Structure 1
Amino acid sequence: MSTVKQFRYPAPPLYGDYARAAAGLALTGIPPLLVPLSAWVAVPMMLAAALFVVFGARTAQRHATVIEMDDKGITARGPLGGSISWEHLAQVRLNYYSTRRDRGLGWMQLKLKGAGSGETVRLESTLDGFDEIAERVADVARRKGIGMTETTISNFAALGIDADPQAGMDAAGVRTARWSR
């Protein structure tokens, strides 16, 4: 019997995202409602307000989501959740999104796709336990020989995880060493 581990997005950063969504919505959504503006100004402001609504909804979705991982697979419980068994894991992508030109600050997104069902689970690096999940996903992907892009392999390496399916294999295809963190 496997133990289910649960992971959540930490609340303090989410509260900051809620505040940014509310401030952005207030600054872009209220003025067109209170002050007569030309369509050339009001329409872009309302579109920006809509983006802040989407950002707030996405923040609420992450806040309500609980990630569960065990020996059988990974499940995102909550709005827009999904579930993928390790047996059916077919595609792994790990992307880095930078908020600065020097790529100094940013976040990673791990996207997992299952075979057959087409289920997708997306996780962001702000998730508590993201490194543990990424290590498990890389291990499963290596054992299954799931092909990954060079970008994905490089991003795993940035986390200290060797995800190259060819690394650490002997001539018979048996893993000879486990990566270190």
Structure 2
Amino acid sequence: MAELPMARPSTGETLTVAEMRYPAGALAGDYARAGAGLGLTVLPLAFLPVTPWIAVPLAACALLFAVFAARTLQRQLTRLTMDGEGLRADGPLGGAIRWDALSGLKLRYYATKRGRDDGWIQAALTGGGTTLRFDSNLEGFDAVIEQAALAAGRNGVALTPVTVDNLIALGIEPPADPNEKDPNETRPAS
């Protein structure tokens, strides 16, 4: 992850500009799964006489594996850049969100086994008409989510209970709920 110094306007502290990508090792397994799936579905269609009852499901599965391979390639070609102003995704289906325009933060956990021992988190950040989606295989994922949680708190973004639980699981303090009333707040006399 390349880092360049950048001034943080609110406090004068130095904030780094971070460039993040998906590591090749994280994508290698997805490419292998896509290739195996395409091989198991396309090869019978290409080299064996199959009935339509078998060809249609095989073609549908081949299409799903092709979409998965394209999504993996899109992740490989995407570079995320985070700084004090916001987050930018350069590559196919890229976009940019300013921290002061962040209007949504969702985190979803997907388990590969029972329990929370193994799996990944998918993040969706929304703001300024753009949605950026990325998952926890991204280098620097925790740093991006920490900045997004801070921006969500500053912007008064309400988070779902699932997102709050996932922030806590990542060790990130969730922002206060803007819709929650302060229990110490006094009511006006009638």
Q: TM-score range by the shorter chain?
A: 0.7 to 0.9
Answering whether residue 104 of structure 2 is matched by residue 91 of structure 1, we say yes
**Contact 1:141–1:165 under 8 Å retained in 2:** no
TM-score w.r.t. structure 1 length?
A: 0.87
TM-score w.r.t. structure 2 length?
A: 0.83
**Partner deviation per Cα, 1:130-156 (whole Å, 9 max, x = no partner):** 011111111111122210101100110
Query: Letter of the aligned partner of 2:161 in structure 1?
Result: E
Find the aligned partners of 2:52 and 2:132 in 1 and give their Cα distance.
Answer: 40
Find the aligned partners of 1:30 and 1:113 in 2 and give their Cα distance.
Answer: 41
Query: Letter of the aligned partner of 2:147 in structure 1?
Result: R
CA-CA distance at 1:13 after TM superposition = 1.9
**SS of residue matched to 2:143:** helix
Which residue does the alignment assign to 2:144?
133
Which residue does the alignment assign to 1:160?
171
Higher strand share: 2
**SS of residue matched to 1:109:** strand
Which residue does the alignment assign to 1:60?
73
**Partner deviation per Cα, 1:53-79 (whole Å, 9 max, x = no partner):** 111101000000000000000001100
CA-CA distance at 1:171 after TM superposition = 6.9
Answering whether residue 68 of structure 2 is matched by residue 29 of structure 1, we say no
Number of aligned residues: 169
Q: Percent identity?
A: 47
How big is the alpha-carbon RMSD for the aligned residues of Structure 1 and Structure 2?
Answer: 2.0
Which residue does the alignment assign to 1:39?
52
Which residue does the alignment assign to 1:14?
27
Find the aligned partners of 2:157 and 2:119 in 1 and give their Cα distance.
Answer: 26
CA-CA distance at 1:103 after TM superposition = 4.2
Answering whether residue 155 of structure 2 is matched by residue 144 of structure 1, we say yes
Which residue does the alignment assign to 1:105?
118
Answering whether residue 127 of structure 2 is matched by residue 114 of structure 1, we say yes
**SS of residue matched to 1:14:** helix
**SS of residue matched to 2:87:** strand
Answering whether residue 63 of structure 2 is matched by residue 50 of structure 1, we say yes
CA-CA distance at 1:101 after TM superposition = 3.5
Find the aligned partners of 1:141 and 1:157 in 2 and give their Cα distance.
Answer: 15
Q: Please, which runs of 5 or more residues in structure 2 have no aligned partner? A: 1-5, 8-15, 186-190
Q: Please, which runs of 5 or more residues in structure 1 have no aligned partner? A: 173-181
